[in-house]
Amino acid sequence: MIMEKGFFQRVYDIVNRIPYGRVTSYGAIAQFLGSKGSARMVGWALNSTKNSTENIPAHRVVNRNGLLTGKRHFSGNDMMKELLKSEGLLIEGDQIINFKEKFWDPNIEIDQE
């Protein structure tokens, strides 16, 4: 029997590949996963990473505008922002200024397995 990876694990695999100092979007990951995933599903999957013992860089996933929409799911008020700033991202409010420049698209970087 071929065990297919669960949706969660597929998302984790991609997020784990986001390089230090780079970011991607929920939609980009969803697109990479194909019809099996909508952007909402990606967010939902990341929500369960806090139960995982793995260290998944979920802070490197933002919405398509480079806005830190998931900041509330991190401990503290600005944990997500601080993590990204420490990686060289320029952030004003909850908006990544150099988003386009730092954007990492799995559809381009990960051609196929």
Give the chain's largest Cα–Cα span.
Answer: 50
Pairing state of beta strands 91-92 and 95-96? Answer: antiparallel
Part in contact with DNA (CB under 7 A); list of ranges 66-74, 83-91, 94-102, 104-112: 66-74
Q: Does 44 bind DNA (CB under 7 A)?
A: yes
Q: Does 12 bind DNA (CB under 7 A)?
A: no
* Exposure on the CB side of residue 61, measured as CA atoms within 13 A: 27
Which residue's CB is nearer to DNA, number 47 or number 98?
Answer: 47
64's tokens? 């398509």
List the one residue from 13, 17, 39, 103 that touches DNA (CB under 7 A).
39
Least distance in Å: CB of 15 to DNA? 9
For residues 81 and 84, give the distance between their C-alpha atoms in angstroms, rounded to a whole number: 5
For residues 113 and 111, give the distance between their C-alpha atoms in angstroms, rounded to a whole number: 7
> Under the rule (CB under 7 A), what is the footprint of DNA?
7, 25-28, 30, 35-44, 46-47, 49-50, 58-59, 61, 63-65, 69-70, 72-74, 80
